[in-house]
Structure 1
Amino acid sequence: MTRTTPPRPVNVEAVFPELAAYRGRTTRLHPRPGRPGMRESHVGGPMLWPEGEPWPVCHEPHRPETEGYVPAEIRRARAAGGRPRRRPWPGAETPGEDGPVPYVALAQLFRRHVPGLAAGPDGADLVQIFRCPFTHGPYLERRYHLRWRRAAETERAERFLAAPPEVPMLRWENELPEPCVLHPEEVDTYPWAEDDTLPASLIARIDAWDDAQAAEHGPDAPSYQFDLSIPPGWRVGGYPSWASTGPMAIGCECCGTPMRLLLTAGGDEMDAGSRSWAPWEDRDPSLREKASTKGGPPFAQPTRLRFGRDRDLHVFICPADPGHPPQWVLS
């Protein structure tokens, strides 16, 4: 099934003609629970991974844990519509204190499914994203890993990994992604309106317009940030959202070039403020406007993943050399 974003409640360029110069495109991925294959773009599905190639592991020390969740029990509980049981952590040591920890596969994207996906080094057209299942240091920092591939070359491997290595327990249930198929859809997007992301005079007018809309129409009034600029959820390209941190300048650590947004991973596909972005296919036709959006994890939190305290994870790459290390930014 395709996913179709409704027209925006207001034609933002009719209100602010200057925004036409800033119009961009982003590909909403619309992950929904399913059974993706290794040759498909997905979140949480099987990776296209040649057998015998080392799986990525985290070698850094990890915080000790006292309780957690068994991955198999998480899967069974989700299938039954329940919650898994939290269990005491086995043994005295956290995995990784005395050995490497396998990364958890989060997503893979092929450019043949997502044309807006940026090119990787040496013509790579497949990107795979991983996260260490444990935290690091006193601030619970996370470690991520990005792997570029040339899809046609990788698909010529004789054998593929049937099942990746997996830790026996996870600290949180939302460390384990729900396998999701994708429904890519390109939509227009506009910059986050704060600090110097747009001219100061334009941001002031946008803020004044938001205030006037709220005064006239109440809490359901459309707003620039929530309804007109950047869609929620998983998306490729476009502009980053800065709801938690405020805008940040992201430069390449190797060459100083301003970095380009490759991908945004979001824990929520919609929330109370962004329901206008809910696709037509995820609405109840018997109801109207925001009340028509369906609820529950399959629609609001299909991947079951969480990034920080319900933030967006932005993955930036260097446009001068995509082989330079990416940057991972929570906002």
Structure 2
Amino acid sequence: MARTTPPRPVDVETLFPEVAGHRKTAVRLHPRLGEPGARESSLGGPVLWPLSEPWPHCEDEHPRTAFSPPAQGSVPLVPVLQLFAADVPDLAFPGATDLLQVLWCPFDHADGYVPRPEIYWRGGDPSDLRPADPPRPAGAGDDYLPDPCVLHPERVTDYPNWDLPDEVADALEARFDQLEEETGWSYWSHLSVSEGIKVGGYPTWTQDPDWPTCPTCRVRMEHLLTISSSEFDGESWRTWLPIEDTPATGTIWDLPYEQRTEIQRPPGLMLGDMGGIYLFECTNCPDRPFAYRSDCS
């Protein structure tokens, strides 16, 4: 079943033409529990892997937290996201690649106290790729091990929230407040940045933006994708809950906890306190340098 974000309840660009020049296209992936195959785009599902390439491991020292390995040493990475170009045509795949894979070490790292992701761009001869059978890391917690989900990609428009330039935000503050007072719709929660796990658009920051700079060319990196803990929160659900998941009566919060969780947090991830991990890349440099950031409420 497709997932469709409701149209915004007001015309953002008519009310606030100042934000129009900052719009970006995002692709909400809408993961839902399922049984994806290794040759399908998925979150937490089986992945393809080159026969000639050993499965990657994390060799980092891990801080002692509630999410640390039982013993220091090599930790196998776990598959998080697999995207084929045909499913996300808005994503600019480099060169002749047509497959993006995100893996991470499922234990806290000192940088953000979240899993440490790695990305892989693949292309060329698909005959070298086979369904992987990766080792399962001992002692990893369920919060960092996504349940297998099929994806329902959907193009949406993002307007900046935390990334709205200060001078624009200051100029619009009174009109934002007036709209919320008259209609109940908040630019910040309901009209700006799309929620959930997504490609492109703006990061769904929960704190001040922390854009990385490319270590090679010193240019600010571009947002590649967001892996968040939830599709929406207690405020944003009014515009970011897909139409197909809207209850026939009552609201999403009237559903039994287990049923609501399958809609709000299908993969079962919990990154900090309902936080997210944001992946960035530099498209100016041929080797596409990569970085990540994280935050939570």
TM-score, normalised relative to structure 2: 0.89
TM-score, normalised relative to structure 1: 0.80
Match of 1:173 among 119, 142, 145: 142
Aligned-partner residue type, residue 131 of structure 1: W
Q: Aligned partners of 1:139, 1:280: CA distance in 2, in Å?
A: 34
Residue 24 (structure 2) pairs with residue 62 (structure 1): no
Q: Deviations over 1:66-97 (max 9, x none)?
A: x88xxxxxxxxxxxxxxxxxxxx9xxx834x2
Aligned equivalent of 1:149: 122
Aligned-partner residue type, residue 109 of structure 2: H
Q: Aligned partners of 1:309, 1:229: CA distance in 2, in Å?
A: 22
Alignment of 1:1-150 (within 5 A): 1-63=1-63, 94-95=70-71, 97=72, 99-120=73-94, 122-137=95-110, 140=113, 142-150=115-123
Which of 1 and 2 has greater Rg? 1
Q: Structure 1 residue 60: deviation in Å?
A: 1.5
Aligned-partner residue type, residue 309 of structure 1: D
SS at match of 2:157: strand
Q: Are the equivalent residues in 1 in contact too, given 2:253–2:260 (CA < 8 A)?
A: no
Residue 243 (structure 2) pairs with residue 311 (structure 1): no
Match of 2:215 among 235, 243, 253: 253
Q: Percent identity, please.
A: 38
Q: Are the equivalent residues in 2 in contact too, given 1:52–1:161 (CA < 8 A)?
A: no
Aligned-partner residue type, residue 156 of structure 1: S
Q: Structure 1 residue 106: deviation in Å?
A: 0.7
Q: Deviations over 1:126-148 (max 9, x none)?
A: 11111112223497354221111
Aligned-partner residue type, residue 264 of structure 2: A
Q: Aligned partners of 2:159, 2:60: CA distance in 1, in Å?
A: 39
Q: Structure 1 residue 184: deviation in Å?
A: 0.5
Q: Aligned partners of 1:261, 1:139: CA distance in 2, in Å?
A: 18
Consecutive unaligned residues of structure 2, counting only runs of 5 or more, are: none
SS at match of 1:49: strand
SS at match of 1:134: coil
Q: Structure 1 residue 319: deviation in Å?
A: 1.3
Match of 2:165 among 176, 191, 198: 198
Aligned equivalent of 2:152: 183
SS at match of 1:156: helix
Aligned equivalent of 2:175: 209
Considering fraction of residues, name the structure with more strand.
Answer: 2
Aligned residues: 292
Q: Deviations over 1:234-284 (max 9, x none)?
A: 11111123322x123421012212211111111101111111211110012
Aligned equivalent of 2:187: 224
Q: Are the equivalent residues in 1 in contact too, given 2:23–2:158 (CA < 8 A)?
A: yes
Match of 2:240 among 273, 277, 286: 277
Q: Aligned partners of 2:33, 2:48: CA distance in 1, in Å?
A: 19
SS at match of 1:112: helix
Q: Aligned partners of 1:44, 1:36: CA distance in 2, in Å?
A: 9
Q: Are the equivalent residues in 2 in contact too, given 1:191–1:229 (CA < 8 A)?
A: yes
Alignment of 1:154-165 (within 5 A): 155-157=126-128, 160-165=130-135
Q: Deviations over 1:98-132 (max 9, x none)?
A: x3110111111111111111223x32221111111
RMSD of Structure 2 on Structure 1 (CA): 2.6
Q: Aligned partners of 1:130, 1:233: CA distance in 2, in Å?
A: 18
Deviates more, 1:132-141 or 1:56-65: 132-141
Q: Structure 1 residue 181: deviation in Å?
A: 0.4
Aligned-partner residue type, residue 186 of structure 1: R
